Amino acid sequence: MQALASFVRTIDRFNDAVGRAISWLTLAMVLIAFGVVVLRYVFSLGWVWMQESYVWLHGIVFMLGAGYTLLHNGHVRVDIFYRPKSDEYKAWVDLLGALLLLLPVVVLTFFGSWEYVIKSWAGLEESREAGGLPGLFLLKTVLWGFCLCIGLQGASLVARSFLTLRGQKNLLPPVVSEGGEG
């Protein structure tokens, strides 16, 4: 059981670190969007690459931050049925949700995107827009990063739920929700 608890802590630390690092991209995204607006409406200047950059950053933040969001219970859930229930009930919901919904979708997403990403890498795909960003293949690879982060966090959720159901919740660190509750 200690090994399972260690697995949970390792995955949780990984996704927490990824999420905190990725969160800095939101600052860059806001600054770039502000720059685009000022340049366009004050100076009548604009570049496609600059507009694409904040859209790409948004995609990266959304995709790579998904594991962090799951870790901190930030994903949509019907809290009216979930929040007031016992830890065991929540563990069953999380266990079954991860095993029957989350992890199968992650696997389908990974294998469904395989050819899409490989083809993009094979041609070193760039933006279709004139003056757009090069390296679209790198952005498409973020799909695999999403699968890694959310898949690992889903596995951590399964392990956490299993330990809770086995009466070993004391081995686990508490999860702090974005709202501040554990």
pLDDT digits (tens, 9 = 90+) for 1-50: 899 999 999 999 999 999 999 999 999 999 999 999 999 999 999 999 99
pLDDT at 16: 97
Q: Does the reported pTM lie above 0.75?
A: yes
- Closest to 103 (Cα-Cα) out of 169, 162, 161, 148: 148
pLDDT digits (tens, 9 = 90+) for 76-91: 776 777 878 898 999 9
Is residue 130 within 8 Å of 48, Cβ to Cβ?
yes
